[in-house]
A and B are shown apart, each in its own frame.
Chain A
Amino acid sequence: GENVEQHPSTLSVQEGDSAVIKCTYSDSASNYFPWYKQELGKRPQLIIDIRSNVGEKKDQRIAVTLNKTAKHFSLHITETQPEDSAVYFCAASDSNYQLIWGAGTKLIIKP
């Protein structure tokens, strides 16, 4: 079955700098890769997603890149702000019904 690895587990960046979170997956059949942001005690919120027929997708300060050959995808946040502080999860869909999640990255934005 699918296995998703996520790094780093914690990332601390200065406000205004960029943050990059990386994930790898094992199942070459996976074709949908969402990223979720979870603030403390709240539900995961989808922030961006990418399908396997696309290499990059951008939405304002957030971008996701996908390398199907290497089976990895990354989240890029530019010009980080204090409200970006949260836990970020990547996920990969290996079937019609199931998302496999990474272990999460705690992003800390230092003022």
Chain B
Amino acid sequence: EPEVTQTPSHQVTQMGQEVILRCVPISNHLYFYWYRQILGQKVEFLVSFYNNEISEKSEIFDDQFSVERPDGSNFTLKIRSTKLEDSAMYFCASSGHGTAGGEKLFFGSGTQLSVL
């Protein structure tokens, strides 16, 4: 079964540093998402991406965050100047169609980001 892959699995960074989290969505999917989960808490939507632009973003996704699809396969999340509260598990997901159509989300295994 095709999978969403994420790298790295763990990332440790100093506060104020930039990080880039990488994802390879399932190849024929059109919608891409980033979610985050702070330890012990719910999964929170960050951003969705379709047709090479952001479709929707949450309040969490402020100017420090950006997403990019630099080529036909990768989908990246950049945090420009990390804060302690950015420490979380970041999940990438993809789907063939938007979820309102009942399309299933496929999640990657996540990147655990630790900001020191």
Contact = CB atoms under 8 A, between A and B. Distances in A.
The contact size tier of chain A is 20 to 34
Interface residues of B, number: 24
B98 A97 contact: yes
Contacts of A95: 56, 98, 100
Interface string B29-49: 001010000000111110010
Interface string A76-110: 00000000000001010111111111111000000
Highest count of chain A CB atoms <10 Å: which of B31, B45, B108: B45
A91 B110 CA distance: 19
30 contacts: A31-B100, A31-B102, A32-B100, A32-B102, A34-B104, A34-B105, A36-B43, A43-B91, A43-B109, A43-B110, A44-B43, A49-B104, A51-B102, A89-B43, A93-B99, A94-B100, A96-B100, A97-B33, A97-B48, A97-B55, A97-B98, A97-B100, A98-B48, A99-B45, A99-B99, A100-B45, A101-B43, A101-B45, A102-B42, A103-B41
Interface of A: 31-32, 34, 36, 42-46, 49, 51, 89, 91, 93-104
